Amino acid sequence: MLSPAIMRSNALSPMQSSSTTAASTTTLSILPDAAKLVFRGKTEAIEAAGAHFGVKPSLEACRFAAVGGRSVHWLGPDEWLFQAVNEDPIEVFGGMSAALQAQACSLVDVSHRSDGIAVAGPTAALVLNHGCPLDLSLKAFPVGMCTRTVLGKASLLLSRSEEQVFHVDVWRSFAPYVWQFLDEARNLS
Amino acid sequence: MLLINCPYCGSRPEAEFANGGQAHIARPADPMSLTDDEWAAYLYMRDNIKGLHHERWRHANGCGRFFNASRDTTTDVIKRTYRMGERPEAEHQGAKP
């Protein structure tokens, strides 16, 4: 049987070569695979989870915290996404699961569910606004903010890691659509 | 586009939300004691108010949580949104909270 690590394939890998080469100030790139765990639970449990993971989760709505390749994104009032770039999901899940034995909470490994795209450049917000109705100005969507939202017909997790860099985390089956959407939008703007 | 105030995330575009029908309908504590008509009324009969209506909404493409909204069905203005488990404000309660 194949190990889960071998079975992981990024839905975006065929997209990079198909994207347009026309001059655009906005770049699209595929983010490296990461271990992704969705956590649901109350404050006490999320604090224990954060302490084990090494990143203090944000209790404020729509914010993420990152330390090195690890980050915790606020998804809902009792829901967070733990992300560890280039780490083995089985190991990360095993460690977290053991540390949370005494807590009433839910932890689900969703590493293979979604792929990531980085949208970078001075007009990145404008490109995203071709399909996303959110106000992406720095005032309304500051660095460190994350939220699930819509882009065209797809639902995705949008976060701003730098002033001109957005990260998009989208489910595999929507990933090529979102890539093509952004590729087209960046050549219009 | 309309902006709807999610009690958790703040003011967000309408496209992120899904309507969940009339709010504050309590499931009967003992369904077995109800007649078929009473059960049908609980399942299917809803108010069709002209004016302020209390509805459930879900921030489907956001935090994913259900909340309540008091919306005027004639103007489509949402007067107030509030979390699950809370009651509409007294002045908004009207005939049927």
The CATH number assigned to the domain holding B55 equals: 3.30.2270.10
pLDDT confidence of residue A13: 86
pLDDT digits (tens, 9 = 90+) for A127-145: 999 999 999 999 999 999 9
CB contact under 8 A, A76 and B8: yes
Using alpha carbons, select from A76, A119, A53, A77 the residue that is nearest to residue A65: A53
Using alpha carbons, select from A55, A52, A46, A73 the residue that is nearest to residue A148: A73
Scan residues 1-60 of A and list those with Cβ closer than 8 Å to B: none
pLDDT confidence of residue A3: 64
pLDDT confidence of residue A17: 74
- The whole-angstrom separation of Cα B67 and Cα B59 is 8
Sequence length of chain A is 189
Q: What percent of chain B has pLDDT over 90?
A: 86
Find the mean pLDDT for residues B71-80. 94
The low-confidence residues of chain A, meaning pLDDT below 70, are 1-6, 20-23
Which residues span the domain enclosing B17?
3-93
DSSP state of A31: P
Residue A21: what are its φ and ψ, rounded to 5°? -110, 5
pLDDT confidence of residue A188: 87
Interface predicted TM-score (ipTM): 0.86
Top-level CATH class of A20-188? alpha beta
- Using a CB–CB cutoff of 8 Å, tell me whether A155 touches chain B: yes
pLDDT confidence of residue A14: 84
pLDDT confidence of residue A177: 96
CB contact under 8 A, A77 and B64: no
pLDDT digits (tens, 9 = 90+) for B55-72: 999 999 999 999 999 999
- The whole-angstrom separation of Cα A166 and Cα A146 is 9
pLDDT digits (tens, 9 = 90+) for A63-79: 999 999 999 999 999 99
Find the mean pLDDT for residues B26-54. 95
Scan residues 26-85 of B and list those with Cβ closer than 8 Å to A: 61-65
pLDDT confidence of residue B95: 47
Mean pLDDT, all residues of chain B: 91
- The whole-angstrom separation of Cα A100 and Cα A80 is 15
pLDDT confidence of residue A15: 83
Q: Please give, rounded to a whole number of angstroms, the shortest distance from the CA of B2 to a CA of chain A.
A: 11
CB contact under 8 A, B63 and A134: no
**Is residue B97's pLDDT more than 60?**
no
- Using a CB–CB cutoff of 8 Å, tell me whether A150 touches chain B: yes
CB contact under 8 A, A61 and B8: yes
| C-beta of residue A157 within 8 angstroms of C-beta of residue A71 | no
Find the mean pLDDT for residues B24-48. 95
Q: Please give, rounded to a whole number of angstroms, the shortest distance from the CA of B59 to a CA of chain A.
A: 10
Domain ranges, ordered by start, for chain A: 20-188
Total domain count for chain B?
A: 1
Using alpha carbons, select from A74, A69, A76 the residue that is nearest to residue A92: A69
